[in-house]
Amino acid sequence: MQGTEQNRGTKNYKTSSPEIGKSENFTGDRSVVLSKKQLKKIRKNPLISGLYITDIGFYPNAKHHYRKRILGIKEHILIYCIDGYGTIKIGETEHQLEPNTFFVIHADNAHSYWASQKDPWSIYWLHFGGERSSFFTEHFSKVNWIKQSSKSRIDDRILQFNELLTALESGFSKENINYANLSLNGLLASFFYVETYRAVKGFSVTNPVDQAIIFMQKNINSTIKIADISQHVKLSESHLNKIFRNKTGTSPMDYFINLKMQEAIRLLTNQSLKIKEVAYRLGYSDQYYFTRIFTKHIGSSPGSFSKMNMHR
């Protein structure tokens, strides 16, 4: 009987394995694959041979994404889901990924994976090898959660991923390859040592400002007022405004609106959604009001932003 690993989320968009699918070329995708010649040089370079990248990429809204490797590959595969849902199958067990989860497929393991048909995943992924890669196996072959909070540093991790991609996209010079592979150490540490990665940033869940930010993040799709936030952190509105502005340089409500606009940018960039749908997802019943807010905070209308992004 086929086994299934259940996740802690409330949604379940698990779908059966497709017979065929689309493995690459998604709108807005990025990917770099190093050649055999380049990898041969890397494996001879003592500076980076212990831990190195062979492939890396980003697939946004990866509809119909499907891969099946009967014999596996020689490197480990890390898949980091930032949006949507997908399934990874190892042997007879299926593991569902959802936002803020990652999974590492062990080298040489037969596997397949695919995006949900209803809500396809957006994923960062990389293939990595080297002698030191085997030291992380306790984190392999299971769904790993990155709990979202004000100290999660999710944006920092995504920035690291994008920096590695940019370095390799800029050309396969010795400097670029060395930089990307040395940076891989820090990227993997952000996944495998999450608590330390969070702690060094200096956030505190007991700090009322951080508590307020967590509350905002959890209610990004809702309409909340300063009274709701102050009640949550058990402070008066005036006192919360004061300490929040001292720490962030802005008011709680402006901060919340900025969070919403950053989420709007992500939705407009990574998904094929209409402006009305993005507004609705963020708790705005009036599309035109949402457009005014977006234009004020971002500097261009949602429509103009989407058109510019299409030509990048």
Q: Give residue 293's domain range.
A: 208-310
For residue 218, give both structure tokens. Answer: 């959890």
Among 27-36, 199-208, 231-240, which range has the highest average pLDDT? 231-240
203 vs 307, higher pLDDT:
307
Q: Give the three-state DSSP class for 226.
A: helix
Contact 122, 83 (CB under 8 A): yes
- Tens-place pLDDT, residues 24-52: 567 788 999 999 999 999 999 999 999 99
Distance in angstroms (rounded) separating the CA atoms of residues 80 and 83: 9
Contact 77, 57 (CB under 8 A): no
The percentage of the chain sitting over the pLDDT mark of 90, rounded to a whole number, equals 62
Residues 254 and 283 in one domain: yes
User: For residue 105, what pLDDT is reported?
Assistant: 98
* CATH code (residue 71): 2.60.120.280
The percentage of the chain sitting over the pLDDT mark of 70, rounded to a whole number, equals 86
Residues 42 and 187 in one domain: yes
Residues 195 and 212 in one domain: no
- Beta strand pairing status for 93-97 and 3-5? parallel
Does the structure show a pLDDT above 90 at 129? Answer: yes
Residues 174 and 214 in one domain: no
pTM here is 0.63
Residues 256 and 121 in one domain: no
Last residue of a domain, one of 143, 175, 199: 199
- At 1, is the pLDDT very low, low, confident or very high (cuts 50, 70, 90)? very low
Residues 37 and 179 in one domain: yes
Residue 240 φ then ψ, to 5°: -60, -45
Residues 102 and 231 in one domain: no
Nearest Cα to Cα of residue 111 among 86, 135, 85, 82: 86
Residues 164 and 36 in one domain: yes
Residues 80 and 175 in one domain: yes
Mean pLDDT, the chain, integer: 87
Residues 68 and 162 in one domain: yes
- At 3, is the pLDDT very low, low, confident or very high (cuts 50, 70, 90)? very low
The domain tally of the chain equals 2
Distance in angstroms (rounded) separating the CA atoms of residues 250 and 237: 14
Distance in angstroms (rounded) separating the CA atoms of residues 97 and 77: 14
Nearest Cα to Cα of residue 86 among 3, 21, 14: 14
Q: Residues 6 or more apart from 42 whose CB is under 8 A from it? A: 34, 48, 49, 52, 177, 181
